[in-house]
A and B are shown apart, each in its own frame.
Chain A
Amino acid sequence: MKRALLPAFLGVAVLAAIPFAIRNSFFLHVCILVLMWTVLGAAWNVLGGFAGQVSFGHAALFAVGAYTTIILYLKGGLAPWWGIPLGGLAAALVSLPIGFLCFRLRGPYFSLATLAVAEIIKLVALNWESLTAGSVGYLITSLPPVRLFGLNVNWESKTPFYAAAGALSVVALLATGWLRGSRLGAYLVAIRENEDAAEAVGIDTVRAKVVTLALSAFLAGMGGGFYAFYFRYVDPDAVAGIGLSMEMVFIAVVGGLGTVGGPLIGAVFLTAVAEAVRGRFQTGHLIFYGLFMMLVIRFMPEGIWGRVRRLTARAAAGA
């Protein structure tokens, strides 16, 4: 953990400096996307990379966070900076019965179950109109006036959103780093390697998985809350679709399963591809996501960051 401290400080410093160095609004927007996807990728990675439980339904948790935040603001007047953590909390709570249901299953059966649960939640979002406004969705037309350090926050500028996204990413990466070094993290490795043996040596595998899912859901939910805050529009197609679930998987896998930095690398890669392709194909970036997913699994299953770490470890050992 100590060795990671210096690059971490540098990283945060660079992060903080960017909006002052580069004023281009579009560039900041892209950075915000990268940061948001980092949070989502890290959320998925906690469950999929560390615990080895592949979920195809994480969009549902994202959606719970998004709806919670936007509903609390539009109907309850609660400002989004309170709504976002509450969105995370709501997602974590929802994840408890989901985990209770799905963790009885292992491997591909678990993955399929998460798919089914996510589709059910999307159906509920579409049809429970009194709560979610159905396919019409919710729209934020104006954000509350706020004074920070004596200045009015300018919601027209990207900077406040960038700051929020940055803060959330730091939280997500710190949480992942903590998990990796903790006893729970070690338990998750054990569960991934041999679940029966883990039970036999006294590891409460169900509790480990449920706690991990709750952490993963909290991060995904906060990502959803941020989405509501930044994009200001939430409807079932935007936040509960399976495409979103797959993008989260993609970031974590391509970046590097079970690593801390992987989601960031995956997010940078994903956003770069999406932007490069945006002019020519509209949602065509998904074509490349699928293609890269296949390429990574075939040639680099440990992900980009996983491969980099393996190469540097080998170089360090050789030198």
Chain B
Amino acid sequence: MALLEVQGLTRHFGGVSAVSDLSFSVNEGEIVGLIGPNGSGKTTVFNLVTGFLRPLSGAIRLDGQSVVGMRPHAVARRGIARTFQIVQPFPGLSALENVTLAAFLRHPARRDAEAAAALVLGRVGLGDRKKEIASRLTLMDQKRLEVAKALATRPRLLLLDEPMGGLNATEVDDASDLVRQIRASGVTVVLVEHVMKAIMRISDRVVVMNQGEKIAEGRPERVVEEPAVLAAYFGKHVA
């Protein structure tokens, strides 16, 4: 049984179909890339899976159990964590305080939560910047903080929404390594990304969306050569 199963997922906004009859699954231990042109519905999928939006129809199952209709905090408790495309820290608090708040989910006692938070901060490379106020961190560090917060909830599945946006080449490599380390620690990853280099290097599989629908799926090298995918990105006359 797959860790995450999405079947027939549909969601409209006004008259527009943001996500239309989407189905895919993610197996435990995979890194799956979710790609597609701008506006293809990728972030909406994340919002639907994590409970920030309700689907019009369709099923979303984690370990065989439905999470549809659950509020985001309950989905997090079940084991699905996410990062946001535009980082969402608790701006006035320190990095440690930020992550401790997330660690409370699994460690009710403050001291345990703080200890767990410190560990996670170390893993993402922020160990020496624990006391820095979140809003004053660099973009790369804020993205690390974003991941740390998600990891502190000890998820089974981590959804990363364009983590590489705005990063330079070295930073992209560092981020890619971090994603691999996260998978190695036992967390399954789905990542939405536009930086193709990263997707190609780290994804086991890729799902391609266009205008709310899935148009291709498979190993990254093969998928990017499919005519439907090329047409989606570059227009119909390229292939």
- Contact residues of A with B, CB < 8 Å? 183, 186-187, 189-190, 193-194, 196-206
Contact A202 B105 (CB under 8 A): yes
**B71 CB within 8 Å of chain A:** yes
Within the assembled complex, what's the spacing in Å between the Cα atoms of A190 and B108?
Answer: 15
Query: Which bucket holds chain B's interface residue count?
Result: 20 to 34
How long is the Cα–Cα vector from A189 to B89 in the complex, in angstroms? 12
Which residue of B is nearest A196, CB measured? B88
Asked, given contacts A186-B104, A187-B101, whether A200 binds B81 with beta carbons under 8 Å apart, the answer is: yes
Q: Are A194 and B89 in contact (CB under 8 A)?
A: yes
Q: Are A200 and B72 interface neighbours, CB within 8 A?
A: yes
Contact A202–B77 (Cβ < 8 Å): yes
Chain B interface (Cβ within 8 Å of chain A)?
Answer: 50, 52, 71-74, 76-77, 81-82, 84, 88-93, 100-102, 104-105, 108, 110, 149-150, 152-153
Contact present for A183 and B88 (CB under 8 Å):
no
- Chain A residues with Cβ below 8 Å from B77 are 202
CB distance from A317 to the nearest CB of B (A): 14
Contacts of A193 in B (CB 8 A): 90-93
Question: Does B71 lie within 8 Å of A183, measured CB to CB?
Answer: no
| B93 near A201: Cβ-Cβ < 8 Å | no
The contact of A201 among B74, B91, B110, B149, by CB within 8 Å, is: B149
Report whether A201 and B150 are in contact in the complex, using a CB–CB cutoff of 8 Å. yes
Supplied contacts A197-B89, A201-B150, A202-B105, 20 more A-B pairs, CB within 8 Å? A186-B101, A186-B110, A187-B101, A187-B104, A189-B90, A190-B101, A196-B52, A197-B149, A198-B90, A199-B76, A200-B73, A200-B82, A200-B150, A201-B81, A201-B101, A202-B77, A202-B102, A202-B104, A203-B73, A203-B101
What are some 9 contacts across the A-B interface (CB < 8 A)?
A: A187-B101, A196-B72, A197-B84, A198-B73, A199-B71, A200-B73, A200-B84, A202-B104, A203-B101
Q: How far is the CA of A222 from the CA of B71 in the complex (A)?
A: 34
When distances are taken between beta carbons in the complex, the residues of chain A under 8 Å from B92 are 193
B101 to chain A, nearest CB (A): 5
User: Which residues on the B side are within 8 Å of A201 (C-beta)?
Assistant: 73, 76, 81, 101-102, 105, 149-150, 152-153
Residues A197 and B90 in contact, CB atoms below 8 Å apart: yes
CB distance from B105 to the nearest CB of A (A): 4
Residues on A with C-beta less than 8 A from B50 are: 200
Q: Chain B residues near A205 (CB, 8 Å)?
A: 73
Which of A183, A190, A194, A200 is in CB contact (< 8 Å) with B76?
Answer: A200
Contact yes or no, B88 A204, CB < 8 A? no
- Give B96 Cβ to nearest chain A Cβ, in Å: 12
Contacts of B71 in A (CB 8 A): 199, 204, 206
Chain A nearest Cβ from B84, distance in angstroms: 7
A194 touches B73 (CB 8 A): no
Closest-CB distance, B124 to chain A (whole angstroms): 15
The answer to whether A199 and B72 have CB atoms under 8 Å apart is yes
A86 to B89, CA, bound (A): 41
CA separation between A200 and B151, bound complex, in Å? 11
Contact assessment for B88 and A197 in the assembled complex, using a CB-CB cutoff below 8 Å: yes
Bound-state CA distance A194–B102 (Å) is 13
Chain B residues with CB under 8 A of A206: 71
Q: Is the CB of B150 within 8 A of A189?
A: no
A186 to chain B: which residues have CB within 8 Å?
100-101, 104, 110
Q: Across the interface, which residues of A come within 8 angstroms of B104, CB to CB?
A: 183, 186-187, 202-203
